[in-house]
Structure 1
């Protein structure tokens, strides 16, 4: 904290820096024609502009040092250029025409490079693209990424699964800080809205070197909405309507950038009724979510800082069995009422040829869970209040009932985390970063029931990593040491230490083929639930008993990624082998407490292996036609060759997509997708098998000029054949409850 305050004091001195600017022109590499409206963006400064009608651009008020500038435009291959300021003359950039989608800088890895220059394979998707394919929620959207699935409880609760690992083994980052919201439970969702999220990045494999404990299985990194370009302002509003749930999601936002200051805000509201299968509606899968995001940035010659805030409130029904059939949107008992506050501050001090990054975060999670027997009044009286003839009266009475409840379980989790990284001056071919990360977290119980005790967790880690660039080979390596201390009630005091490293090579075999090999270790300290839980876990139908003697999980993963790319076809093959020591898992012991089966936390060594294969074909000269296909598989076993739980089934996705533009429609597209999921009969001892199924979906969309502003419209249909199916990662499968049936989604966004 003292270091951060000293940085702020240096603001006064930073005006002494020279006035740096970058000017240039962007042209077509084949025709030499000037390119207008090319996006010019410096990611680490979060600063950008567009070329004018003559292809010229100017970026002012830049700090002294080296900057990576990104040039991107639809129909062209994205270019990155490293520039050192002060610059004495204008620059000239040529973009190559390409049917391949535009690339962006990878933010989740420390050196911020384009994927083609990155040693570590990172999947990257634009959130608008995922929504256009019919995703209803953020958790639903990420399942369109190869190697990524989601454990779900209806529509309102979902959390990422990366190559078979989930819960605390996958770390989620939002606004540049780690998200902490009691995520240990498989019935606990993300607590995040997809509105105000620019894109999603996924590190598939141990990322403990970069992020410490809980990144053993990978990282889901959510990039927030960008600020407006220099001296511009824009606003938009939009809605999406969902036929299956009779639900809607609506949002509005505004952003502006004036001189050294910039700000943005976005608010959204989402409501869904119970989702419908071919035969019935799944009772109490309804939910309501309110979300607000805001950001404020300041930059001068030698200093940049960005502050962001997000508050999200979700009231989510917990389905148990098929019962009441209605379109009411107010959840029945039991339900969760969760509020997440995320504060983040990301600052950079620019020095001569080096820089210091300081990221501070504070998250406040208030989790309330309500059950049938926690009324202020008599249950019989309240049961009568719910049943009225008219739907609006039912909804009114439901709200009154919820106001009369006390939370059976209430926990408040407060987390402060920091991340300090110093980028050393580049030494020859070496880029090096050293840093320290840490976290202070307190859990406090307020409800009548207590699942885990009051406790304080403290993390601290130090790391060093280098990127070495040669002409045809890039090498990245690093090491890290971590300590975690958990101190709580009843004499709880546990210490966990770990040393981890990573080594990777990227080799350009020729102009078309790139190979990546990465070796990395990771670790995860047991969480409070695994160590100390003793009670019925709401929504899981099990009584969990923790194990205070659990050891840390440690893993070592080998990744191989091959990629072939030319003007008309891209092919990738990714394979991995992941060995985990002391894998923690739940297992029933055959006993009952209060008529609820007892589950114990146990440990055993485990291994996971598999990979992803895909291709993207856009034939010449039909550049508007695209065919995409991907296959993914993962197998998880314990040391005794019994299978691990919650391992997703093999799946194959095939998409035919067309893109088109005309005088009246821009960014037009249409697609048809068939996703085939195979049966999963490689089960843990307490799982149920699931059959294979095929889901057909289609959609179209585009942008139009309406009153001189852009109106974007999307229309999609999912599960068009209304297939009855159960996903293996659905927590409703033990009850034989189907996943969502046919749904049509209609969305629009109007830019002001």
Structure 2
């Protein structure tokens, strides 16, 4: 209820009369000078947008004072981002000319601390559009983003997957649901983040330390999943999306409706997923990799000249089969229903994100409540069918003051905090002890121009965390606290309009999680023992990157060196239990991860685009032992043939590409080497209007040659089980207006 009280307080707080500012203009084609109808005109700070009319005219009303960024987007054209500075009550005329382009050079992003363009950030922020996720043929959100160089995934089948950013995973990275830090017991490779790919506008990915903005756990990077934009003012829009996956007989559907007027906006979306056990390249099904999920997402909000107020609710209820030895005797045939050895998960997230405009200042007040329930169902031969039942309740809050900015400076100060309670229910196995974790942090952030083409950003942050756990028969109580400072300094230098250089030096940290401090028992098929004396893990990273773009060529090159002090890891020891189980112990050492990525996009003809990327990683401890879960170095490539109009068909394409994964011959202590492999993918799609109803469809074939292979980050490797074989997905989207 706290969030509802906060929202209504902000919504109806007494406000003085504010200026009624307007920005209007005309959008034309740069070459032909013809007006462009139905161009998207969007203000990310206000979560508000419109579109040009039949004559290319747009108008934005009820705008606050200060700097606003306006993004103009239209299919087949390069997006344009304009900053306007409203200093007093008046109307602004803003005329735009858009150039045709296949490449989208940059977009407005928010994960770097402010509303800014990708090129204004010293931290490189990758972007994946929501519309691209369904066309990958992936069966999960995480699988859909691994084409980004430097991003990979740990998998136990197609449902139980976790992202890896530059060789770090689990509690070394953060996943944000529209800015809300997900708390899904993510300390284990068997515990996936609970999020799906439905109703997403875009995904922003920070590769590298980001504790300055997000606190503990953001040492490897951040994945921020941003919700779909509201409907343009005056519209009620909807869409139906459906997929079928041949390999798993997978059925995936979601349906959404949203509307908006000058003051209010709202939206609701529901989705389902259902997959059988997948088949490998030999045609053999991999037992108990089936999974099912239902989800509901809703939002309501208000836009006024004095502020923006948003209230969101997300519910996800996945059931993930566990492909482990204990389950195999009970899985006698390929099926869809979860009956034995599966994770029965439920996640509720209520969040409110609000911005108040006070003269030239803006105040962000955000809060969320998250309830995550994790149940492990086993089999009838066990004393308890329900072996684990544990809740995690998290209340988080944030307040940020954005000081008056101009074209040269931006200053932000803020406070963040969270309270997490872990409580075991009536089940015999305690994944974690009952515990309380409390956080509070203060931070300051600045962006400024040093010279005409040289921009800098810097900041500092202090975090305090207390952890209190209850004693249990097999483990003692923990009562400890941590205090950590994070900082960063980075620059962007525009050598010309086409060439950009970035540098960033950052320190980040993560505190030991509860499992690492307290574990003492069987988990994930092995005996694990925590260490209550663990210290905070600290990362010092330097990033260098460059960007070049022209009308037909785009090149991104980046390299990094990450020195990690007190790196926390688990490894087998020389000790055994009375049952002769090897004891795996948590300990610390210094480590380094070195790597880089390159991505090249080439447009030799208007109808042909070529893309290739390569990611390299090397991670090792100071004693020479290799770090775990370091992915294979991978080369990805594809060619896409596209045509705007072919008879009645619009935006048609054909693409072919694949992945080459190099041999991983640097395994950690409890890993083995992994052979190289090559996968080939192919896709085709188009749109057609039938009686004024647009229908979009595509077919995507992954692992087209039905290759039998094992990826290094598959935890099914130790069981001798292969990754998924050929999968052909059929995708259908039907948008509509009400």
1:142 is aligned, of 117, 140, 145, to 145
2:454 maps to which residue? Answer: 473
Report how far residue 339 of structure 1 moved: 0.3
After superposition, the Cα gap between the structure-2 partners of 1:3 and 1:270, relative to the gap in structure 1 and judged at 3 Å, is: closer
1:649 is aligned, of 618, 632, 640, to 632
1:411 maps to which residue? Answer: 390
Distance 1:428 1:292 in 2: 41
1:607 is aligned, of 588, 592, 602, to 592
2:315 maps to which residue? Answer: 311
1:720 maps to which residue? Answer: 704
After superposition, the Cα gap between the structure-2 partners of 1:629 and 1:661, relative to the gap in structure 1 and judged at 3 Å, is: same
Deviation digits for residues 119-145 of structure 1 (CA, Å, limit 9, x no counterpart) = 211110113213212112111111111
Distance 2:715 2:588 in 1: 22
Distance 1:89 1:498 in 2: 46
Distance 2:279 2:252 in 1: 18
State the TM-score, normalizing by the size of structure 2. Answer: 0.95
1:113 is aligned, of 109, 113, 116, to 116
Distance 2:304 2:403 in 1: 21
Q: Is residue 685 of structure 1 aligned with residue 669 of structure 2?
A: yes
After superposition, the Cα gap between the structure-2 partners of 1:460 and 1:4, relative to the gap in structure 1 and judged at 3 Å, is: farther
After superposition, the Cα gap between the structure-2 partners of 1:694 and 1:299, relative to the gap in structure 1 and judged at 3 Å, is: same
Q: Is residue 553 of structure 1 aligned with residue 537 of structure 2?
A: yes
Report how far residue 73 of structure 1 moved: 1.4
Distance 2:117 2:407 in 1: 21
Report how far residue 471 of structure 1 moved: 2.2
Deviation digits for residues 184-205 of structure 1 (CA, Å, limit 9, x no counterpart) = 1110011111112222111000
DSSP-derived class of the 1:618 partner: strand
Report how far residue 564 of structure 1 moved: 1.4
State the TM-score, normalizing by the size of structure 1. Answer: 0.93
**Is this contact kept in 1: 2:183–2:372, CA < 8 A?**
yes
2:277 is aligned, of 267, 274, 282, to 274
- Indicate the larger mover: 418-427 or 638-647: 418-427
Report how far residue 10 of structure 1 moved: 7.4
Deviation digits for residues 104-129 of structure 1 (CA, Å, limit 9, x no counterpart) = 31121122112123221111011321
Q: Once superposed, which parts of structure 1, at least 4 consecutive aligned residues long, lie more than 6 Å away? A: 1-4
Distance 2:222 2:511 in 1: 16
What is the number of residues matched between the two proteins? Answer: 720
Q: Is residue 52 of structure 1 aligned with residue 53 of structure 2?
A: yes
After superposition, the Cα gap between the structure-2 partners of 1:407 and 1:2, relative to the gap in structure 1 and judged at 3 Å, is: closer
1:464 is aligned, of 444, 454, 457, to 444
**Is this contact kept in 2: 1:459–1:483, CA < 8 A?**
yes
Q: Is residue 248 of structure 1 aligned with residue 251 of structure 2?
A: yes
Q: Is residue 156 of structure 1 aligned with residue 136 of structure 2?
A: no
After superposition, the Cα gap between the structure-2 partners of 1:97 and 1:488, relative to the gap in structure 1 and judged at 3 Å, is: same
2:78 maps to which residue? Answer: 77
CA RMSD of aligned residues (A): 1.9
Deviation digits for residues 151-182 of structure 1 (CA, Å, limit 9, x no counterpart) = 11101111110000000000010022111111
1:623 is aligned, of 597, 606, 614, to 606
Distance 1:551 1:4 in 2: 38
1:487 maps to which residue? Answer: 468
Distance 2:731 2:308 in 1: 36
Report how far residue 488 of structure 1 moved: 1.8
Report how far residue 664 of structure 1 moved: 1.6
Deviation digits for residues 326-350 of structure 1 (CA, Å, limit 9, x no counterpart) = 3321124211100001111000001
After superposition, the Cα gap between the structure-2 partners of 1:3 and 1:721, relative to the gap in structure 1 and judged at 3 Å, is: closer
Distance 1:45 1:35 in 2: 24
2:474 maps to which residue? Answer: none
Which runs of no fewer than 5 residues in structure 2 stay unpaired?
472-476
**Is this contact kept in 2: 1:15–1:300, CA < 8 A?**
no
Distance 1:434 1:11 in 2: 25
After superposition, the Cα gap between the structure-2 partners of 1:613 and 1:102, relative to the gap in structure 1 and judged at 3 Å, is: closer
Report how far residue 451 of structure 1 moved: 2.9
**Is this contact kept in 2: 1:638–1:644, CA < 8 A?**
yes
1:452 maps to which residue? Answer: 432
Deviation digits for residues 606-662 of structure 1 (CA, Å, limit 9, x no counterpart) = 00001101200002xx21210000000111000101100110010101110122111
DSSP-derived class of the 1:274 partner: coil
Distance 1:519 1:434 in 2: 20
Q: What does 1:260-659 correspond to in 2, within 5 Å?
A: 260-279=263-282, 280-321=284-325, 324=331, 326-372=333-379, 406-426=385-405, 429-446=408-425, 447-469=427-449, 470-490=451-471, 491-537=477-523, 540-590=524-574, 591-592=576-577, 594=579, 596-619=581-604, 622-659=605-642
**Is this contact kept in 2: 1:199–1:222, CA < 8 A?**
yes
1:28 maps to which residue? Answer: 29
Q: Is residue 672 of structure 1 aligned with residue 656 of structure 2?
A: yes
Distance 2:76 2:105 in 1: 8
Report how far residue 371 of structure 1 moved: 2.1
**Is this contact kept in 1: 2:390–2:431, CA < 8 A?**
no
Deviation digits for residues 582-606 of structure 1 (CA, Å, limit 9, x no counterpart) = 0011111242464643211011100
Distance 1:749 1:181 in 2: 31
**Is this contact kept in 1: 2:238–2:257, CA < 8 A?**
yes
Distance 1:373 1:512 in 2: 64
Distance 1:593 1:345 in 2: 51
**Is this contact kept in 1: 2:379–2:385, CA < 8 A?**
no
Report how far residue 701 of structure 1 moved: 1.0
- Indicate the larger mover: 698-707 or 48-57: 698-707
Distance 2:4 2:649 in 1: 52
Q: What does 1:74-223 correspond to in 2, within 5 Å?
A: 74-85=75-86, 86-101=89-104, 103-223=106-226
DSSP-derived class of the 1:108 partner: coil
Distance 1:332 1:730 in 2: 23
**Is this contact kept in 2: 1:451–1:535, CA < 8 A?**
no
Which runs of no fewer than 5 residues in structure 1 stay unpaired?
377-404
